[in-house]
Amino acid sequence: MPTFEFDQPLCWAHRGFSAKYPENTLAAFQAALDAGAEGIELDVTLTRDGQLVVIHDETLERTTSGTGSVSALDLAELRTLDAGIWFGPEFAGQRLPLLTEVLDMVGGKMLVNIEIKPEAAHVPAEVPVERQVLDLIRERGLLDSVLVSSFDYMILIRLRGLDEDLRLGLLVTGEEENIDFRALVQAIDAFSFHIRAAELIPDVVDLLHEDGVRVFCWTESYDDEALAMAQILEMGADGFFANDVDAFLTRCAEALA
C-alpha cells in the first residue's frame, strides 16, 4: 500500500499522464501507473443525477464529444460521449470515468489526489459531494493513500468536520487577495498546500515546512513546465503535478544523483 511517508519529491501525474494521453481517462491513469508516478491527480464533480464523474472542466466541449454543462446531464447520457478522440484517433472510445472506476483500478497501487471541483457543491444531490467522496475512500480502506483537495475552502472545512484523519490539500492560485493562507491551512489542519509553481517563493516553502505542511505545485497550460519543474525543485517543494511524468521523474533522478 502506498503511503505519504516519502523523502524525495512526489511525482503526481496531473490528470493522469496528460502529456501523452487524454486527461482524466482510465488510459491516462494506467499510463501514469506504468510510468512509475507515485500518484495521480484527478478532478471530480457531480452529474445531474448525483454521480461522481471524473472531468476537469465545468463544461464538456474541450475534452469530450459533448456540449454544455456536465451537471446538466445524467450519468447515462455522459457515458455515451467520447472522452479520448479529441486527443487523438487512437484514443477513440475512452469514456468519462466514474471515481469508483479509478479507485478500483489504482487504489492501493499509488497515491490519489482527488480534487473536488467547486461547482460540485452547487449540484442538488441527496448526498453532498464531499460526503460521497469520503464514503468511497473509507469503503475501500484508502484513507492512508488518498488526499482530497479543492479551491472551495468550505468543502475542505466540511470534510475536516466529517473526518479528523483525512488528508486535505488547500488549493490556491497564489493570486488571491486578503487571505492568510497559513492561518487557513492551520484552521483546516491541511496536510498540504497546492500552489501554482509560478507563484511559489522560498519563504512560503520554509514557513509551511516549519508547520509540518507539504508543498505541492501545479502549472497552467500556458506555463513552461520544464522551467517550473526546475524552479520548484530548487526551492524545496515536496512534489509536482506533472503533465509529462517521464520528464519529471528524469529530472528528480538527476537531482538526486
* Residues contacting 143, CB < 8 A, separation 6+: 137, 163, 165, 166
User: Does 56 participate in catalysis according to the annotation?
Assistant: yes
Distance from the Cα of residue 125 to its chain's centroid: 22
Q: Find, among 148, 146, 193, the residue nearest to 174 by Cα.
A: 193
> Which of 56, 122, 194, 209 is the catalytic position?
56
- Helices of type H across 19-139: 26-35, 75-78, 99-106, 129-139
CA-to-CA dists, residue 114 to 55, 83, 230, angstroms: 11, 19, 25
Contact yes or no for 9/240 (Cβ under 8 A): yes
**Residue 191 identity:** F
Other C-beta atoms closer than 10 Å to the C-beta of 131 total: 14
In degrees, rounded to 5, the angle at the alpha carbon of residue 116 between the alpha carbons of residues 113 and 118 is: 150
> Which bin fits 162, alpha (ψ -120 to 50), beta or left (φ > 0)?
alpha
Quote the Cα angle for 1-7-189, to 5°.
75
Query: Residue 199 — φ and ψ, nearest 5°?
Result: -100, -5
Catalytic residues: 14, 56
